[in-house]
Chain A
């Protein structure tokens, strides 16, 4: 009888065994090199899907580090003003290039040429976090003071965190042709004026994304040598593409590039780890059931599956207590619970 490498593979490596159970029992996490206890300071950043990680960590008694919290006097407006989503008020960070850029701006090594937008009513919009201030900043004085305060909070987040969870969302981005600054959303959508002679469409390659992740890890280690990095890929499809492709094809390309780049980063960079939330949501075991009726928004059930496995593999939690929306909520309500994540990208569809 011939011997071959597949004879003794573990159950998780064999589709028939690993993928035949109910969808909620599928667990693609084989080993995960990060342990989080209740004292571990976790910083989250990334696309809108990343917001759920911080939310569930907090609600289960873990330390989602917050270095820029809403003042108690305005706590009821925290979400509207971009607080409580991430460690600091930096909004969604869709690309690895944006993450590097945030680091460089916070530490003063990069100041974009296009650093403020003006809306029709006189408000000042921060091009790099266009949705954190409803109506924009009302004065230059506040804009500058808030920016200074924000950057200090970003630096503290990078320097004090034990684990940074970064969820990559997109490869497509718009940048400034002169200095290469990348915007979270195309100029002209949430502020600013689109100028085809200045604003350049980018679609990052796997090499570029992996390179940006490497650059970020190196710079982070310079200020925080012990910090671990957890990478995930957002399962949320592109709301729109600026490429010539069908949005489904563009989504597949984008997510594939991100997945490859993240894998390379996890393989090649010390203390960088991958968590497969993308596979948990999009795998065929889910049969599309983890997407809402728009085939894009992830349902609360899907998020719970991701977070249950995250807690099981990364924490010392005995039980994961998911945040359950109101019991009277319909399935549509449950889906919308997720849609309510603050997404700049959604603006492309208005």
Chain B
């Protein structure tokens, strides 16, 4: 972890400043706002590339099974981001996005409990915040190189 990170400063401040809980809550809220703006960009790239693969396969005279095989390779490229998706229920597990969601939810829930009056559990908040940062950086690393700029370095959540 980089000590000059605003993210860490906010964390360390919570040891001696009661309003620092609010700083973390604002940071957590802003991470969600930014993440929810990034998600449609990633989904759109994923969708459009899949359609392009199908159209190019057809234009190139490939069979449907060949087109499906190429599409499956595209799905595999993005599996690290979305995880394994169940065809029936549609639920996806194990990818960087579901992990980021889970890490953010744990952090946000912990902060909300403490805002509501639960005693400060610095170890838990620090652990959740660290997991969130790792999950965000994992998402950046999982997105194919050509589209990694869609997941920007966020101020205070700098990835190596």
Are A and B bound to each other? no
Q: Which residues of B contact A (CB under 8 A)?
A: none
